[in-house]
Chains A and B, each alone.
Chain A
Amino acid sequence: MAERKIRILMAKPGLDGHDRGVKVVARALRDAGFEVIYTGLHQTPEMIANTAVQEGVDAVGLSVLSGAHNTLFPAVIEALRKKGANSVMVFGGGIIPEEDMAFLKDKGVKAVFTPGTSTEEIISFVRTSVKSIH
């Protein structure tokens, strides 16, 4: 049996226009041998969920720098659930205060990365948590 290639959707929900971080992560994931789908700025949770489903991804990485993570992250997870994509793992990054972490994890966000995280850390997180899905 062939080994599955890891597929990740990197998405920017909401209104902020800062995509440097997400591009750096997308590129690092590519260099780690993953297939990364990037869809650009200003995605609604609905758009992200539809893309995740059609692209058959293992995980969705969300980048939010606007402060709206407590609304947007759970909204994406909810949209995925509605489409039956329960196995898609969701992680995120951005400027996210420590006190919001527990709330986001409770909502189903598997990991949250804040500025200063090394790309190696994100890669190894994706690799181990996706392996458990396959």
Chain B
Amino acid sequence: MSDLAEKVLRGEVLSTARLIRDLDDGIDGAIAELKILYPHTGKAEIIGITGAPGAGKSTLVNRLIENFRSRGKRVGVIAVDPTSPFSGGAVLGDRIRMQNHFNDPGVFIRSVATRGHLGGLSSSAYEIIKVLDAFGSDVILVETVGVGQDEVEIAGAAHTSVVVLTPGMGDEIQNLKAGILEIADVLVVNKADREGAQVTVQGLRRLLEMGGFDRKGWKPPICLTVGTEGTGITELVQAVDQHREFWNRQKAQPGFENKRREEDFLRILQGQAVSKLIVSLRRSGSLDEIVSRLVRGESDPYSESEKVLKLGD
């Protein structure tokens, strides 16, 4: 029976870290542990923090940890940083801003590299959330990589998505209209002690007033913060709490839970189907044969793909 999953459920740090590592590395057997953990998930509140590089996400996460800990909540953190497309390596440095919490047994921080996954998270992030949930975290803070406009995956993974902006973005906010601003449940203008903070807030207000976002009646509040000083954090946490209440009301609506489960299932199916197919093509040597046919000009990749999926004639 599965030792590792049981230890995660008992709140053992070493085993939890081990399972996360196995999931990240795609080790056979890690999924079997997740099956055991799955019934114990769904309890944690998941909060996504996203925004441009240098917007102050890690510093805000540090402040949020502080706030949740003062309310006695156990906090899990997943901090995603980019993998180098050239070497496959990464320097993961988000933790540096969270040092005050290194020796707090109520805080578990895990740095993760994107490993080529686009969308702002790592492909393992969804599973790591489940592990930290089963481990007993009351709140899980997911910090995305520094994002531009289109890395909106966090919206599907979190209950509440916090989008962090900084003053001086000016008209750039207009460009951000589609994509990242659309997923914001809470907007933060961080470094609000800098010049232009009010201009940024006004720009955001105008944008929100223009509407066009399907918010089901939710109007994203705009919070002003100075992460380094800890200013505005109470208001930010209040906004997050309010959104969670809104989310809970939505959850009661018919179809809401179905949609969430469907998305989760299809994501897992997609991942497993593709990787299983590729592994079996490699093992059987079919992949080499296909490539040879393509090189010799005897076939095209579309037909080959259809043949693999047995959709062709």
Contact = CB atoms under 8 A, between A and B. Distances in A.
A117 to B, nearest CB: 19
A32 B111 contact: no
B109 interface: yes
Given A36-B91, A47-B99, A50-B103, A30 B27 contact: no
A4 interface: yes
Given A54-B13, A54-B110, A39 B96 contact: yes
Interface string A25-60: 011011111111111100110110011011110000
B67 to A, nearest CB: 20
Interface string B181-196: 0000000000000000
A114 to B, nearest CB: 23
Contacts, number: 90
Given A5-B24, A55-B111, A83-B14, A29 B89 contact: yes
Interface residues of A, number: 33
B287 interface: no
A121 B88 CA distance: 20
Contact of A30 (B20, B28, B87): B87
B34 to A, nearest CB: 16
B279 to A, nearest CB: 10
A32 B14 CA distance: 27
Contact of A31 (B17, B87, B108): B87
A10 B102 CA distance: 15
Contacts of B27: 1-2, 4
A40 B90 contact: no
Contacts of A27: 91
Given A33-B89, A40-B96, A51-B102, A2 B25 contact: yes
A85 interface: yes
Nearest to A38: B93
Given A2-B26, A31-B84, A38 B103 contact: no
B18 A56 contact: yes
Contacts of B28: 1
Interface in B86-114: 87-93, 95-96, 99, 102-103, 108-111, 113
A41 B311 CA distance: 58
Contacts of B93: 37-38
B103 A35 contact: no
A84 interface: yes
A7 interface: yes
Given A51-B102, A53-B13, A54-B108, A38 B91 contact: yes
B74 interface: no
A50 B102 contact: yes
A39 B94 CA distance: 8
Interface in B21-45: 21, 24-28
Interface in B224-241: none
Contacts of B84: 30-31
Please give me the 8 A-B residue pairs with the lowest Cβ-Cβ distance, nearest first. Answer: A2-B26, A56-B21, A30-B89, A56-B17, A47-B102, A33-B88, A40-B96, A33-B89
18 contacts: A26-B91, A30-B84, A30-B91, A32-B87, A33-B89, A35-B83, A35-B92, A36-B89, A36-B92, A38-B91, A38-B92, A39-B99, A47-B99, A55-B92, A55-B109, A55-B110, A56-B18, A84-B14
Interface of B: 13-14, 17-18, 20-21, 24-28, 83-84, 87-93, 95-96, 99, 102-103, 108-111, 113, 115
Interface of A: 1-5, 7, 26-27, 29-40, 43-44, 46-47, 50-51, 53-56, 83-85
Given A38-B91, A55-B109, 7 more contacts: A1-B28, A2-B25, A4-B21, A5-B24, A26-B91, A46-B102, A47-B99
